[in-house]
Each structure stands twice: as structure tokens, then as C-alpha cells.
Amino acid sequence: MNHPLQQFQFCPKCGSKQFLEHNEKSKKCAGCGFTYYFNSSAAVVAVIENGKGEILIARRAKDPAKGALDLPGGFVDMYETAEEAVIREIREETSLSINSLQYLFSIPNIYLYSGFEVHTVDAFFRCKVNEYNHLTAQDDVSELFFLAYDRLNPADFGLHSIRKGVEKLLRETGRTINNRQND
């Protein structure tokens, strides 16, 4: 796998082709001296349970992993906290309003978008919602449904970080990981 910096051929500050590898995380322009560090993007994931202890599952409407299972969430916008991002993403994807949230853990991921590998750190939050009457799949979600933990199969989830997050949730709740084939 090529390092993402190999796709950057020109200095983003002055446009020089003398944009060369500086170290494993950066490139430096021999022309203007600008150093660009390639860092992870921040993303958020919501773990939402209903009153029956089932978890809210989304089906991806777009690539990457179109048609695969997912948990609601997305990228953190500039000037936005992770908490603000998860509230916004849940509203955009489900029409639900979060009443409270709690940080759980984070998992690194590589999100392939338009042929470019976006390295992310996905922050998982347990989110409380009091009312599900307006639950509607929208934005980049084609379907929403609740699934009992004992029906979760990490292999059904299309993104690496979400699979790992589901495995971690299952372990932390004392449930076994369901390795059944897709239904």
C-alpha cells in the first residue's frame, strides 16, 4: 500500500514540484520551505440503543462499502467539537435528537474516498435518545433499523473501524461475537 503523501506531487502553498518526502509523516517544499504533515481526520460514531437494548444500525447508501451495515456518524467539520459533530451527524442521517452522550473509545480507520485513502480516528459515543418517532434514513444512509446485540455480526459491517468497534462493544457487554455467515 502506498503512503497517502505519494499522491501529493506539488506544494500546496507555492505549487512547486520540488515537494519532497521529509519524513514518514510529512513532505517539505524545497522551493518555499513549507512542510505539510499528513495527520488523521476526526470522525464520530454513534452507539444508540432503544428501550429493548437493541442498537441502531444504518445501511450505507454510498461508497465506500455501499450497501453494507454501519453505525450512524461521520466526519468532524472544522471548528466543531466531536460532541457537536455526533449530534449534527445523527440529526442529518436519522432526524433524531440526542439528549446526552458519553465518549466510549476510538479506533483508527482508513476511509477510501474518490480513490484517496483518508486516515481517520473514529471516536465512538454512546448516545441517548428519548424519542424515535421521527427516525428517518437520509443523507448517506439508505436504511435504519434496530438489531439485538446477539444478532450483530461484525463481518456485516463495511468499514474496518466499525467492525472493530462492534467487536469491542460485544466484548464489553459480555456477549460473544457472532461469526455466522450473512443471512
Query: Residue 65 sits in which domain range?
Result: 41-172
How many separate domains does the chain show? 2
The H or E element that residue 108 is part of is: strand 100-113
**pLDDT tens-digit series, residues 76-101:** 999 999 999 999 999 999 999 999 99
Residues 47 and 19 in one domain: no
Burial of 76 per CB tally in 10 Å (0-12, 13-18, 19+) = buried
Tell me if residue 89 is catalytic: no
The per-residue b/e assignment along 50-69, b for 16 or more CB within 10 angstroms, e otherwise, is eeeebbbbbbbbeeebeebb
**pLDDT tens-digit series, residues 97-154:** 999 999 999 999 998 888 888 899 999 999 999 899 999 999 999 999 999 999 999 9
* pTM (two decimals): 0.89
Q: What is the CATH number of the domain that holds 118?
A: 3.90.79.10
Please tell me which residue in 21, 84, 143, 172 is annotated as part of the active site: 143
DSSP for residue 170: H
